[in-house]
Structure 1
Amino acid sequence: MKRIIQFTAAVALAFGLYSCDSDPLEDMPEDVPTTTFQSVDELLSDMEPEVSSFTVDVSTGGTFTTNRGSEITIPANAFVDGSGQAVTGNVDLEFQEIFNASDAITSGAFTISNGIPIGTGGAFFIGAEQNGQALGVTPGQSVQVQIPSQQTNQAMQLFTGGTSISTSPQWAPLDTAQFWAWMNVVGNYFNVNMNRLMWVNCDYFTNPSWEDPVHFDLLGRTGLNSTNSQLFVVEQSNLATYPLQMGSNYSFMNSEVRNAKCNSGVSQVVVALAIYNNTIYLGHTTITPAAGTTYPIQMAAVTQADLQAFLNSL
């Protein structure tokens, strides 16, 4: 999906304690890694989760399994074209899984709905094309998708996020007036049946209250701002992952973030990512936020592989 928004031992010391008596850049390795990426969005787009592709014979349908354990079941004669006419021959399926914080950050498929964080049990996109033309599901038919559950909660419900893999999903509770889908839990899997191909998320609202304002100082690299940096929040208890939320009079200039807001009473990892002078900078801190507090985030130069390893650890 195209984004439309967004350790190695050599850098380990740079993530240590910051001393006001020293320049943190003095602890940087002399051979600071460089990158050809021009923006954080460009970097993350290169790291987005795999899109699985399958070919199905419309006359027979079929069942397909991804490398991450999802299973897609297509019945025979399941597709129609944009005019509602039955499709024959082979159809190309595309399928993308959003299972963890790394997936959400690199794809832009954040788990937030109308400004409210949502706890996720797993999300996916499914689409079908023939000769480059998007297809729909035959009236009266349904497609079944089974994904490994990342967590369960009695308040789980289906959210949908649009019908294009090229656009970051804007999650909203399932609108049954437009289409139908239903979900049930079987063992460690969510089974979703739907009559439309789209973004789907198994979620629940977290009902946040906000600590506002909360501030952050990005240490070790001056000149960071909203044009070259992005900050993300990963709530550890419910897997909600989303951009740092802006409070009233929010600003981000010269490596200082002022007047953000953070979910109250929730342990969360705040991740800062920047590209500055052809170098990737990464920092993070784990907080249970308190309004009026300024939290330091030590930034360090990293490689793309370092960044991926860190995101995988969230």
Structure 2
Amino acid sequence: MNTLKNIFTIVVLAAFMMSSCSKNDDALIPQQEILDYDDILGFYESNGVQKQDFTLDATTGGTFTGEDGTKITFPPNSLVDGDGNLISGTVDVAIKEIFKASQMILSNKPTNAINFSDENTFLLSEGETEVVVTQNGNSLDMAPGTFYQVQVPSAGGEDNDMLPFAGTATNDGGIVWNATRDGASGNSASGIVYNAAPSSYIYDVFETGWSNCDKFYAYPGAKTTNYINLTNSPNATETAVYLIFEENNLPAVVKIFNAGTPIIQSYTDSLPVGLEVTYVVITIENNQQYLATKSVVISEEEELSFTFEPKTTQEILDALALLD
């Protein structure tokens, strides 16, 4: 009988030890983050700047201020429906504010632009703003001859090269900016005014959607084309490539268009030779996100490749925050 008891005790102890080891081993294995998206567009939708909701009396107009200090002012009787009918009563206004390089990347809203010569270029931004107005779920716009005003806090101070821009969506969910005024006669004639106290810019917007207070990046030296080798990417077709730098506290975030090929290129002869920048590259494959970053000084006709590391969403957010 004692022998049977001893055997039973040994079996129970062995089973307990195996169970404990199994639990401890499981604890040592990091749990993979479960994503609710499987492509780069899903990454932007989940991690980009989220909208802020307000209500407005369309008849009387009014002013409201976003969390990051953007002030929007609608005049009275300035909204119309899709048929051009003047709107009265309460309307819903949703806004997004983007000031930081990290927000531009996470929202896929870079500072790529078209200059007055129809050339691809980029901007230094004082703030990107989206305004969407609806009533009972139907989109509204500004009545002909009217506009709303946007006031954005200034990080760079007064600059006569600042202009208002309007954004046009691109096929990859990004944006390209076009100036709405030429600025030939200075800010007062360009539809933008600098306000000293508090330091901010005020400009007029004639259509709802994305607007921007920016300046074209001016560089007197040589410019070149860079090439990005995505051979090492876990998923080249779902890879987003950004180039970031800052001047006078203003961010520039340039997205390099991905044509789905292993080698992609920047805008032709657009990158300033000798400028120090940071590349940020993000991709997703099989429910895993990957990040690559590299600081470089732009060289003529250079081809760059990257080392991708698996990252959680929080790790990506933390890495991008360091670039603001």
Residue in structure 2 matching 1:173, options 173, 179, 184 = 179
CA contact (8 A) 1:163 1:198 kept: no
- For residues 149-172 of structure 1, what are the alpha-carbon distances to aligned partners after superposition, in whole Å with 9 as ceiling and x for unaligned? 2434331111112499x9643311
Q: Does 1:193 align with 2:204?
A: yes
Q: How does 1:123-162 map to 2 (within 5 A)?
A: 123-152=128-157, 153-162=159-168
2:225 maps to what in 1?
Answer: 212
**C-alpha displacement at 1:306, in angstroms?**
1.2
- 2:47 alignment partner, SS class: coil
CA contact (8 A) 1:34 1:280 kept: no
Higher RCO (C-alpha under 8 Å, 6+ residues apart): 1
Return the index of the structure with the highest Cα Rg: 2
- 1:72 alignment partner, SS class: strand
- For residues 228-270 of structure 1, what are the alpha-carbon distances to aligned partners after superposition, in whole Å with 9 as ceiling and x for unaligned? 3221111222511122368xxx9853xxx57657432221110
TM-score, normalization by structure 1: 0.75
1:228 maps to what in 2?
Answer: 238
**C-alpha displacement at 1:197, in angstroms?**
2.1
Matches of 2:168 and 2:255, distance apart in 1: 20
How many residues end up aligned between the 2 structures?
Answer: 273
CA contact (8 A) 1:121 1:202 kept: yes
Matches of 1:258 and 1:39, distance apart in 2: 19
- 1:119 alignment partner, SS class: strand
- For residues 192-213 of structure 1, what are the alpha-carbon distances to aligned partners after superposition, in whole Å with 9 as ceiling and x for unaligned? 2233323211122224653334
Q: Does 1:289 align with 2:298?
A: yes
Matches of 2:308 and 2:86, distance apart in 1: 55
- 2:310 alignment partner, SS class: strand
CA contact (8 A) 2:126 2:152 kept: no
Q: Does 1:94 align with 2:94?
A: yes
Structure with the bigger percentage of helix = 2
Q: CA RMSD in A?
A: 3.1
Structure 2 residue runs of 5 or longer lacking an equivalent are 1-27, 115-119, 183-188
User: Percent identity at matched positions?
Assistant: 23
2:251 maps to what in 1?
Answer: 239
Matches of 2:266 and 2:148, distance apart in 1: 41
* Residues 186 and 117 (structure 1), Cα distance of their counterparts in 2 relative to 1, 3 Å cut: same
Q: How does 1:293-312 map to 2 (within 5 A)?
A: 293=302, 295=304, 297-312=306-321
Structure 1 residue runs of 5 or longer lacking an equivalent are 1-28
Matches of 2:276 and 2:33, distance apart in 1: 33
**C-alpha displacement at 1:295, in angstroms?**
4.6
* Residues 107 and 192 (structure 1), Cα distance of their counterparts in 2 relative to 1, 3 Å cut: same
2:212 maps to a residue whose letter is N
Q: How does 1:59-78 map to 2 (within 5 A)?
A: 59-78=59-78
TM-score, normalization by structure 2: 0.73
